[in-house]
């Protein structure tokens, strides 16, 4: 089996992300650089907890042609390819529908990173990419135009997030850091809204209670 080690690492990564609540069912996808020409990418429409290394697809980065794998590659392969082509130092990209950061995508605004440690992982700003249907070349094209050398996380409006790193470990750290920053951002926004709209105090208190249960 071609690139068996990298394909197994994709499986292990998906299981890890699923157990952390960042992937669920078949939602989200992962790409891992194999070499200058090939990437390993999750297959389309398969539960990550039942996925095997043989299911993971090996795809040519230049034209997205599948060269090995028992299943069709993720419909978001083009999205990952755009990132990996433009950022040769990036070796892993992760697209999730993680709950808090995904909620922030509904607001349609970039996320400004305030904590120094988080800035080291994500950059000073998490860009907001406009909405386009999942799996389309239009979305991949918008991702291409949004990619920055100093940003390792991107919000995709009404869709989810894209994080990356020079290793699997650093990409996971970007996912985790983005979720914690998004939670802090939402809490701060709610406090400002509560100050400006005291008549909505009861509703905001209930939302705070929900957010309070999320670490």
In CATH, 4-212 is 3.40.225.10: yes
pLDDT band per the 50, 70, 90 thresholds, residue 186 = confident
Greater confidence (122 vs 197) lies with 122
Determine the Cα–Cα distance for residues 81 and 93; give it in Å rounded to an integer: 9
Rounded to the nearest 5°, which phi and psi values hold at 94? -130, 125
The overall average pLDDT reported for the chain is 89
Q: What are 55-91's pLDDT values in tens digits?
A: 999 999 999 999 999 899 999 999 999 999 999 999 9
Q: Can you give the pLDDT at residue 42?
A: 97
- Enumerate residues 6+ apart whose C-beta is below 8 A from 147: 82, 83, 86, 87, 154
Determine the Cα–Cα distance for residues 31 and 199; give it in Å rounded to an integer: 47
- Enumerate residues 6+ apart whose C-beta is below 8 A from 126: 110, 111, 112, 113, 151, 153, 154, 155, 178, 181
Greater confidence (193 vs 83) lies with 83
> What's the mean pLDDT in 9-25?
93
Contact 11, 5 (CB under 8 A): no
Nearest in space to 153 (alpha carbons), one of 186, 122, 110: 122
pLDDT band per the 50, 70, 90 thresholds, residue 189 = low
Q: Can you give the pLDDT at residue 187?
A: 82
Q: What are 78-136's pLDDT values in tens digits?
A: 999 999 999 999 999 999 999 999 999 999 999 999 899 999 999 999 999 999 999 99
Extents of the domains making up the chain: 4-212
pLDDT band per the 50, 70, 90 thresholds, residue 195 = very low
């Amino acid at each position: 089996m071609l690139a068996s080690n990298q394909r197994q690492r994709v499986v292990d990564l998906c299981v890890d992300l699923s157990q952390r609540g960042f992937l669920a069912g078949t939602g989200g996808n992962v790409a891992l650089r194999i070499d200058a020409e090939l990437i390993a990418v999750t297959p389309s429409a398969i539960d990550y907890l039942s996925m095997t290394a043989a299911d993971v697809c090996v795809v040519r980065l230049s034209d997205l042609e599948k060269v090995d794998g028992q299943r069709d590659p993720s419909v978001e392969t083009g999205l990952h390819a755009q990132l990996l082509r433009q950022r040769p130092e990036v070796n892993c990209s992760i697209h999730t529908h993680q709950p808090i950061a995904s909620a922030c995508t509904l607001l349609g605004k970039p996320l400004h990173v305030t904590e120094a440690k988080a800035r080291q992982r994500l950059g000073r700003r998490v860009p907001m990419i406009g909405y386009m249907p999942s799996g389309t070349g239009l979305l991949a094209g918008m991702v291409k135009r949004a990619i920055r050398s100093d940003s390792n996380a991107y919000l995709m409006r009404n869709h989810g997030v894209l994080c990356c790193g020079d290793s699997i470990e650093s990409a996971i750290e970007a996912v985790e850091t983005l979720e914690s920053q998004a939670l802090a951002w939402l809490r701060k926004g709610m406090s400002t809204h509560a100050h400006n709209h005291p008549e909505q105090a009861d509703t905001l208190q209930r939302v705070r209670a929900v957010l309070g249960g999320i670490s």
